[in-house]
């Protein structure tokens, strides 16, 4: 029986690498994988999914207005669906993936972030927490050695940003995974320096 999986982690937890390895494992067993990513993720070009460790594969881009179930029906054969950056999908698109699992008995594996730089849930992630069959955390480590749970956004000077738009694409140049304690400490230290 197929399931809807949500595998989440902070920045730098190798979510994309795990998605690509999972794709490889299915294909090695002769299965047809539909690899998709939201249109909001254009860091590596329109149709490329690339991990920080160098793995990459072509992926179909799904705009926010697209019906994923209808896209699935237009395909010739799909044994499994793998979604990267699923936090950028709309709640309706998550429900469409849920329908594919329930009606078509096709497993769907979603990889993405839980929260943004303000520790607020993304809409797609929120819906996955509500409807996924299996939820797994992919762990990352803060510089202090604790589990990283926060995606700290950095400005050009390396200081933590606490205001701004939820969607701002970037990698290690713009984000740093850290534990909540270090995140709060860094914000307070920056405020002290700024107020001097």
Which residues are known to be catalytic?
85
The response to whether 85 counts as a known ligand-binding position is: yes
Closest CA to 89 of 133, 123, 129, 48: 123
The response to whether 182 counts as a known ligand-binding position is: yes
The response to whether 119 counts as a known ligand-binding position is: no
Give the integer Cα–Cα distance in Å for 151 and 115. 7
The response to whether 86 counts as a known ligand-binding position is: yes
Angle, helices 123-131/91-99, rounded to nearest 10 degrees: 30
The response to whether 159 counts as a known ligand-binding position is: no
SS3 of the chain: the string is CCCEEEEEECCCCCHHHHHHHHHHHHHHCCCCEEEEEECCCCCCCCCEEECCCCCEEECEEECCCCCHHHHHHCCCCCCEEEEECHHHCCHHHHHHHHHHHHHHCCCEEEEECCECCCCCECHHHHHHHHHCCEEEEECEECCCCCEECEEEEECCCCCEECCCCCCCCCCCCCEEEECHHHHHHHHHHHHHHHCC
The response to whether 84 counts as a known ligand-binding position is: yes
Which residues are known binding-site members for Zn(2+)?
A: 142, 144, 179, 182
Which residues are known binding-site members?
A: 84-87, 142, 144, 179, 182
Which residues are known binding-site members for ATP?
A: 84-87
């Amino acid at each position: 029986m197929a399931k809807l999986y949500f595998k989440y982690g902070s920045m730098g937890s190798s979510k994309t690498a795990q998605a690509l390895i999972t794709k490889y494992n299915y294909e090695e067993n002769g299965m047809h994988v539909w690899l998709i990513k939201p249109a909001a993720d254009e860091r590596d070009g329109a149709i490329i999914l690339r991990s920080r460790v160098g793995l990459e594969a072509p992926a179909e881009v799904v705009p926010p207005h697209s019906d994923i179930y209808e896209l699935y029906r237009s395909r010739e054969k799909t044994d499994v669906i793998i979604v990267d950056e699923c936090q950028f999908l709309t709640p309706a698109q998550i429900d469409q993936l849920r329908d594919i699992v329930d009606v078509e008995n096709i497993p769907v594996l979603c990889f993405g972030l839980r929260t943004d730089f303000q520790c607020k849930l993304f809409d797609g992630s929120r819906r996955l927490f509500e409807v996924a069959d299996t939820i797994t955390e992919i762990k990352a480590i803060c510089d202090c050695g604790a589990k990283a749970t926060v995606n700290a956004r950095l400005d050009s000077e390396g200081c933590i940003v606490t205001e701004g738009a939820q969607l701002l694409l970037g990698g290690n140049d713009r984000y740093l995974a850290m534990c909540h304690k270090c995140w709060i400490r860094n914000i307070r230290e920056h405020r002290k320096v700024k107020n001097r």
